Amino acid sequence: MKKIRALLFSAPAIVLLTIVMACISLFTSLWDRSGAAQHRVARAWSKLLLALGFIQTKVVGLDKLDLTKSYVLVSNHASYMDTPAVLSSIPLDFRFFAKKGLFSIPFLGWHLERAGHLPVVKDDPRGQLRSLNEGARLIQERGISVLLFPEGGRAEEAMQPFKEGAAYLAIKAGVPVVPIGLRDTRKALPMHSAVIEPCTVQLHIGDPVPTAHLKPSDRGALNDLLFERVRELAGEAPAPAPIQ
């Protein structure tokens, strides 16, 4: 019965909500080119989307963030509900990296572009580097934050190894990087499913890791540290040691 209710009352409403909020976002972009107004619209969209899906959020560690500062936010990625969960729960003005293909989707892509989010092209190292450098420039010039999912895509089960882009970005921008562990978003919307499951998802925010003293060559060590902290915050057990 829960599945039927979620499918009938959530899915159509979410599509309509996304179109309406994207139109509002585009309208606000006519006088606000910074993306701040569009971000507020996106936060409202996220909160309404979670409400329509009967999804509640519990945030742990929000007091660790100084809302007047800029950060690189790094999270695990298990569901399409991850971005709405972070957007609705963390009151920072941030942009995020999204697959370039999303920018070609009507309404959604228009919002992403006008709001100043950054496209990422897989299998294009030079393009990825340009996007990361652009992200660092936005952080330094506009004082915003940036969200990344370093796994590079949703993980169906256990967390996948992190790519080093987030660590490079944080070092390049010279701002602290914040590990975030998402729990139970996979329950809310499992991979390969169109059925939204009512549940409570959790966001566990870790201590910001300073990067001002680091060099680009330190990105590997920072990346390893971030992976371990996010895995701990996400409540995932360490991988078993290989059999000798």
Q: What would the pLDDT profile of 36-59 be if each residue is shown by its tens digit?
A: 788 888 888 889 888 888 899 999
Residue 243 pLDDT > 50: no
- DSSP run (H or E) holding 179: strand 177-183
Residue 242 lies in a domain: no
Structural domain boundaries enclosing 98: 2-233
Q: Which pLDDT score, from 0 to 100, does residue 155 have?
A: 73
Burial environment of residue 10 by CB neighbours within 10 A (0 to 12, 13 to 18, 19 or more): buried
Residue 182 lies in a domain: yes
Residue 162 lies in a domain: yes
* Crossing angle of the two packed helices 2-28 and 36-52, in degrees rounded to 10: 170
Model confidence at 87, pLDDT cuts 50, 70, 90, reads: very high
Give the predicted TM-score (pTM) of the model.
0.85
In eight-state DSSP terms, residue 139 is: H
Q: Which pLDDT score, from 0 to 100, does residue 29 have?
A: 65
Which residues are CB-contacts of 193 (< 8 A; sequence separation ≥ 6)? none
Q: Cβ distance 212 to 162 under 8 Å?
A: no
Greatest pairwise CA separation for the chain in angstroms: 62
CATH code where residue 208 lies: 3.40.1130.10
Residue 133 lies in a domain: yes
Residue 73 lies in a domain: yes
Residue 8 pLDDT > 50: no
CA separation, residue 230 to residues 45, 51, 63 (Å): 26, 26, 17
* Structural domain count of the chain: 1
Model confidence at 189, pLDDT cuts 50, 70, 90, reads: confident
